[in-house]
Structure 1
Amino acid sequence: MARNKVMDYKMKHYAARVQGVENLILGEKSDYGNLTSRQCGNFVRIALEKANELV
């Protein structure tokens, strides 16, 4: 069974760049352990804003 990706690594890097924390994650196999809960939560907000722009 194929697994749907919610956010691909490009979108995650976009969200990190918008927040100014892209330097805390590196590469396609990103380590998000360096981010706070709030920063991770902001990924959802940014992704939803981007999705709404496409509609």
Structure 2
Amino acid sequence: MARRSGMMSQQMKEELAKELGFYDTVKREGWGGIRARDAGNMVKRAIEIAEEQMTNRP
């Protein structure tokens, strides 16, 4: 089965990991080392940011 490319850029994921406090784990262990809860919180925050950007459009 082919891997799907991610919807979020690497930079966005790193910024969210820093904001949410688990970037050290990412640096140490890679993305596979984060907890499912952290991954879920990252997606939730990305959705919040997207929604904010949509509501702030002219």
> The TM-score by the shorter chain falls in which range?
0.7 to 0.9
Match of 1:8 in 2: 9
Structure 2 gap ranges (5+): none
Structure 1 residue 4 displacement after superposition? 6.3
Structure 1 runs, 4 residues or longer, greater than 6 Å off: none
Q: Paired residues, what number?
A: 50
Counterpart Cα distance in 2 of 1:24 and 1:4: 22
Match of 2:30 in 1: 31
RMSD of the TM alignment (CA)?
1.9
Match of 1:46 in 2: 45
Q: Deviations over 1:17-43 (max 9, x none)?
A: 1111111123xxx82111111001111
Identical amino acids, percent of aligned pairs: 30
Structure having the higher Rg: 2
Structure 1 gap ranges (5+): none
Counterpart Cα distance in 2 of 1:54 and 1:5: 20
Question: How high is the TM-score relative to the length of structure 2?
Answer: 0.71
